[in-house]
Amino acid sequence: MIIAYYPGAGGNKYYCNITNREWQTHHQGYDLHVKDQEFQHRYLYHDSVSNGDFSVILTHCMNTPLIQKIWPNLPIFVILADMHSCLRRQWLLYDLNKYLAQIGQINPNILEFYEAIKDQSWPMVTDANELENLPLHIQQEIKAQYQEMMIPKTPVKIIKKQYFEKIDSACSQILWHKNYYHHYPLDLSQAHKVIDINGTDNFAAHMKIELGLYKSEIFDDCWKECHSVSNNIQHAL
């Protein structure tokens, strides 16, 4: 079977539900509860192909004709929910901390820091020891930026920095998904079953509560602005 859902809509929870596993803990992700998922299945594209036999596939693609074209013999279950609420949950549950870790604000790691700041012309580095072999000007740039990040800042600077980092993270997530779903829009025409979050069954009732637990004025403001920007870009194309 294939479970299609917007990020944050509870696809892994739904699979745990129908396979009689624990799924009802709030404020918890269930990605690790469904093993052997292929990364390339998360977002399907027109040139995606089937690669192997799978009993269950979880995907964020919501275009059922495209899904059926890739896996013509598997039933498609679609979780239908509000994209705004779903992406906000995904951002607060996973993506914000992942973003902050990448730019060195959570457990700064020198290799992650290098990947975050490196210029396209800089070489790939897979081991911290390799940093010592980089050209001197690159080593100096890394050292200067890393030291600046670690220098204690005034509370106002810290608050400003964290605020703008959250804005960058939210806008990046929103605009990327708006672009993806513009090219591969929601299409339920080939769905075997649609699980509507506005329904009345146990899963729908649980997910309505779950989605309502995640609040963020920053994300909502970014959604409003990015929605306008995204529409203007699409009209211009």
**Tens of pLDDT along 8-32?**
999 999 999 999 999 998 888 887 6
Average pLDDT, the chain: 84
What is the tens place of the pLDDT at every residue in 105-140? 444 567 777 777 777 778 888 777 788 888 888 888
The DSSP-derived string for 55-77 is: S-EEES--BHHHHHHHSTTS-EE
Residue appearing with tokens 């979050």: 197
* 8 Å CB contact between 149 and 104: yes
Beta bridge partner(s), residue 58: 3
Which is higher by pLDDT, 162 or 36?
Answer: 162
> Tokens 């992406």 — which residue?
87
Rg from Cα positions in the chain: 21
Predicted confidence band at 164 (pLDDT cuts at 50, 70, 90)? Answer: confident
Q: What is the percentage of the chain residues whose pLDDT exceeds 90?
A: 49
Mean pLDDT value of segment 199-227:
93
- Domain range list for the chain: 2-236
pTM over 0.95: no
φ/ψ (deg, to 5) at 97 = -65, -35
Q: Quick check: 143 pLDDT over 90?
A: no
Q: What pLDDT is stored for residue 210 in this prediction? A: 94
Which residue type sits at 230?
S
3-state secondary structure (DSSP) of residue 229: helix
Three-state SS for 43? Answer: coil
Task: Report how far apart, in Å, the C-alpha atoms of 138 and of each of 116, 143, 165 are.
Answer: 14, 9, 24
